[in-house]
Structure 1
Amino acid sequence: MTQGATSEPASARQAGPAPAEPPGRARALGPGARAALGGPAGIHSLSLLGVLAVLAVIGAVTAPDQFLSTSNLQLILVQASVIGVVTVGMTFVIIGGGIDLSVGAIVALASVWCTTVATQEYGMAGMVFCALAVGLGCGLVNGLLIAYGPIVPFVATLAMLASARGFALQITDGRTQIVTVDSVLTLGDHDSYVLGVPPLVLFFAAVTAAGWVLLNRTTFGRRTVAIGGNPEAARLAGIPVRRQRLMLYALSGLCCGIAAFMLVVLSGSGQNTNGNLYELNAIAAAIIGGTVLSGGRGTIVGSVLGVLVFTTITNLFALNNLQTEVQQIAQGAIIVAAVLLQRRTHLAAP
């Protein structure tokens, strides 16, 4: 009996239960963290690439002279860029176990605020700063209400949606605010393209790369996955759950500010109707990309591919002169199919 009890190596007895890692940390990260940081998510991304390839074939067959043209491919990427930046922020929020219904309204408010006559007097730097500050400020308000209110995310962001839309309407008085700053307008010209790539696409690529690094290579990303998968276990592991949620909504608001300036560059104006239905499009793209609405699992790459899938479908419908309502029905069917596939995959996972 004594010999059996002492057969364990001395180093193992001395090391104990790894006190350097809080006991709840492994449970907090769990399978969702591993999925969000790699593994099976790669298979989902490959399937989305396959969907894009199928859509490309359909476009080449139905509209060969238009779909594969350089100008049309640039158009698809530009249209995906603005909503794509919003989707990156939304992905973080959903992985963290939340939801943000106010992103479209925040984009509208930031776009009209940064295009007022007073703001445009400070040039492009003033407009960029204003758009980012408004987006970040709205995100902080959402985060404070949700993390420290506490108010459920649906109600808090719904209130922000109504308030931001109303404020945007009050600023513009229902009128379109025209941009007169030449340095902003030239960003949308063909002369500003870099090796044939529009600047807005480069902005989108930079935000995507930063989001990927933040989610997959930093403590912030690991904590986001942890609180989305199991907030109580994350709290027991020593993760500041409330502060993390505050920062997630601030990040979402910041992405909305970036998207607002990109939309101003694209349209050359600020309108209170900007960002209409962006919240639905961003959530749909994240779901298509494999982000689970219950939180704890998702990827930036998948969400970006989801944006490209939806944008390509919209482009195909436009090229083939199909009605908008048919397009909306198709998008709804795709969302339902993606959710059912997620559920089947989740139940089949060990």
Structure 2
Amino acid sequence: MGKGEVARYVVDESKGRNIESYNYPGFTVKQLLELPRHLEAPELWDLVIKAQRFKKDVLKVWRSLFLSESSVAVFQDSFWWWFLQKFKPNQEDQDHLFDRIADNFVALFLLVPRDTKDAFFQIYPDCLSQVIYVAFCEAFPESIKYFDDEFKDGLVDLIFQWISGLKPKKCTWRKWNLSSFKTTMVNDANKDATANVQVSGSASSVAALENISYEDLLEDGKYMADGEMSEDSEHINDIPKESETVTESCYIGPGPECKRVLFRLGGQSPLVSYYLKMHEIANAASCSLTCRINRTEVYKLPPVAPTYQDVIKETRRLREEFQKDYTELQQKYEKGIEAIMKERKEIDQKFRRFVFTLL
């Protein structure tokens, strides 16, 4: 490579760090689009998997499923779909990407053993959202300002609705272990040597499931939903003590605004339904009679304001200040009274001496 080529490569590489100057490579039918800056999907998945603190006995199962060819394909195409949606709209390519996302998601759905589907797909949307977010931060480090709370909210809502058809709880991303992402990014100089992992198939995951109970898998799913750490976590030493944890508190004033939405019991994932429609496969679930119910959904959070916890802390601070001022004032008065009594005593002694001399 000549000097001119090296200089051009350096310029192109610097441009690639900014999302505004990045050019979308274009959709290809038979091949997945590579991630920007030569990022490897398995390495990003591995980074996110480690941040979840899964139990050791189920880590291999989840890892093999997350790193399967279908899961990696869903991740890469979802990354580019969201890239186009947010920064370089291209409806035709987005449609092509969505077709392939549906195909690969159904392949992943069939890959996961039946008795672990509920547990796996309870945590998959959140993990998929995380790995897409990490990919954007890694690919475009000079455009971090664009990947704000609104960006994360939109991404999480999209992925959850694609997979489950339901919006997640507001600000689900607040439970992400973002601190671990910042300290172990894939492009750092101290990159973990174990991050180079092979994309795996279904055989290893099925074999590993034979020695793992379904309850253990569900327990990890519950952790992902509730934000609780498992007790025998691989990174148990990193878990803060109870005294160091922060209890979530509500804003003072009106609470979040909710609305009633229609929900169909027995419905399918939108990606699965789209796959069936795209391939003209009879949808047995849509033909059968299913019960429709209403559910409550939070659609607007209250504006940012001091929380009840903030008010309690401020009240305690003011109380301590008032108590301190009162103590200082009381001591001042006591010293003043003591000085007056001393002065009075001295005057009384002088008066007695004066009377004694007159007599």
| Bin for the TM-score computed over the shorter chain | under 0.3
The normalised TM-score by structure 1 is: 0.25
The normalised TM-score by structure 2 is: 0.24
Higher RCO (CA-CA < 8 Å; seq separation 6+): 1
Larger gyration radius, structure 1 or structure 2:
2
